[in-house]
Structure 1
Amino acid sequence: MEAIAPIPVAPPDFRSGFVALVGRPNVGKSTLFNHLLGQKVAITSPVAQTTRNRLRGILTTATAQFIFVDTPGIHKPHHRLGEVLVHNAKGVLNRVDAIVFVVDAASPPGRGDRYVAELLAKTQSPVLLAINKIDLLLEGEREQRQQAYQTLGPWPVYACSALTGEGVAALQGAIEQQLPLGPYYYPPEMVTDQPERFIMAELIREQILHHTREEVPHSVAVTIEQVQQERHITRVNAAIYVERPSQRAIVIGQGGQLLKQMGTAARQEIETLIGGKIYLELFVKVRPRWRQDRLRLMELGYRIEKD
């Protein structure tokens, strides 16, 4: 990998700061996160609660540096893992320079949206309301849906589509105006501060979310066990953890075909990430009730975040 250039001195009128993307699960926060960054950093899927860690993405323009924080969807937790995720999502609210409250235009405001709105009403950070997925609405429906979401709070509203890009530039411009004058926090070339191993594990988990069914996606964790760099290829060993033997059988598939298919797709994504050839080997292991076990959650990288 190329060395990262030193952090330059920002001009006097340069703006910079931290921006949290928050909302209930499955409203398109990660897709919006990726679109703002101009490349894929966060994994996406139709499965709710896809994001499990606060993920930072860095966008540097000529006039500003945005540090976007993609948070897990705020919801009522049903296990220890859910409690950790929601605690960490809430914890970021008063430690950022701006908040983008993302809602789903495809449905009217619900209890989950109102719960998030109540939390945001208590924060000191400025809030922008982003009505995402407007590409799913007819022109006449957009105004009606916007009026419904405006009842959630006294925040400026920006209709957008993270999928098509419509309205995202206007949202980005509004976010920039909320950022204080400040320095570069990261070198302009950086896109995320997460290590490559974390992104690799997430790309593997993304393929499991896309290819498996029923309860399996929520019961899966992925860790990178070993990365060995050779002259022309990087060898990666990863462990996929599930809670029951039946889930292990689903992930492996008949004759190992599903695991092979997911591994091929993940390998292609990882090769794009690192810009080189990958040999990816996947192992599936059973860890009963890992989502309920505090120590196992910590072993797998899920813990209450302090900063």
Structure 2
Amino acid sequence: MADETPEHKSGFVSFVGRPNAGKSTLTNALVGTKVVITSSKPQTTRTVVRGIVHRPDAQLILVDTPGLHRPRTLLGERLNDLVKTTLGEVDVVAVCLPANEKVGPGDRFIVKEMAKVKRTIKVAIATKTDLATGEQIGQHLLDIQKLGAETGIEWAEIVPVSAKAGDQVKLLEELLVGLLPAGPQLYPDGDLSDAPEEAIVAELIREAALEGVRDELPHSIAVVVEEMGLREGRDADRPLLDIHANLYVERDSQKGIMIGHKGARLRDVGKAARLQIEALFGTPVYLDLHIKIAKDWQRDPRQLRKLGF
């Protein structure tokens, strides 16, 4: 009698979309914990962080790319290169198109880029359905269908989802798993991301730093974790994780904004980041955070390398 056990599947899915299209929130909803930073500031994601969904029958590895955009700086160009190389190396590319906004030139630019990658399966996700009416969602799905036809893409699936409200997230997971090839487990059980812990910590600090600052700052912030390790000489049941990190901005005026009146803003950033890091590692954290200036780092290849780009 033939073995009835279904084949184990594994593969990579990349979410693409304009900055702030809901890619990171969706990754976190699928993985069930916070592995990718989310912020209402566009272009917060810079590294290709993979979230991993473990199931008995499959392993779904989510590749979160920076939002594709028309580049204005060297950093922007590096981000776009990163996205394009990612698209050719994954099994499924899923474009996120927010249901509360009309399909626009930015979306068309991305879908045209997707169309150039021939082998990969293409999926469209209508995100943020909690912010749209039923009528808007219906029209949005028709517009997505039309966009596919205009760019020569045959959508394997078009799925409306609200990651915030949890609507259809499970359905999306099932559909994505259904599109993966048969394959073994690629990561050990319990791994939620293959980003080194320092990279995740740096992202959480950057997320805290982005909250509530003026629009001119987001792209100017970079974080480097200089040292991270458990403090020596503590009892095993009272661990303390020491983290020393530098937050880089481009100008003196930005440094002033980040420090705030009598250091209040920097204290708030440190506290918010520390709570997120403690929640992630389940360990008390001592966070030592300093602000430094790296003049015009987004346009300087040497500084970009130093800051990890």
The alignment's TM-score, normalised by the length of structure 2, stands at: 0.92
The answer for the alignment partner of 1:71 in structure 2 is 65
The superposition leaves residues 230-286 of structure 1 with CA deviations (integer Å, 9 ceiling, x where unpaired) of 223111111000000000000000100000011001000011111111111110001
Q: Which runs of 4+ in 1 moved over 2 A?
A: none
Residue pairs, 1:156-171, within 5 angstroms: 156-171=157-172
Instruction: Tell me which amino acid in the other structure corresponds to 1:241.
Output: Y
Q: CA deviation at 1:157?
A: 0.7
**d(CA) in 1 for partners of 2:107 and 2:136?**
19
Which runs of structure 2 are paired with 1:269-280 in the superposition (5 Å)?
269-280=276-287
Listed as ranges, the gaps of 5+ residues in structure 1 are: 1-10, 303-307
Q: % of aligned pairs identical? A: 42
Answer whether contact 1:105 1:131 (CA < 8 A) is retained: yes
8 Å CA contact 2:100–2:136 kept in 1: the answer is no
Matches within 5 A, 1:1-307: 13-123=7-117, 124-153=119-148, 154-155=154-155, 156-230=157-231, 231=234, 232-302=239-309
Q: Secondary structure at the match of 2:211?
A: helix
SS at 1:52 equivalent: coil
Unaligned runs of 5+ in 2: 149-153
Query: C-alpha offsets along residues 10-64 of structure 1, whole Å, 9 cap, x if unaligned?
Result: x761110011111111101000010010110000000011101111111111211
2:293 corresponds to which letter in structure 1? V
Quote the Cα distance in structure 1 between the aligned partners of 2:7 and 2:249: 50
Query: C-alpha separation between the residues in 2 aligned to 1:193 and 1:272?
Result: 18
Paired position in structure 2 for 1:7: none
CA displacement at 1:150 relative to structure 2: 1.5
TM-score normalised by L of structure 1? 0.93
Deviation at 1:152, TM superposition (A): 1.4
CA–CA separation in structure 2 for the residues paired with 1:245 and 1:178: 50
Cα RMSD between the aligned structures?
1.1
In the alignment, the residues of structure 1 paired with residue 131 and residue 171 of structure 2 have an alpha-carbon distance, to the nearest angstrom, of: 19
Given that 1:211 and 1:262 are in contact with CA atoms closer than 8 Å, whether structure 2 keeps it comes out as: no
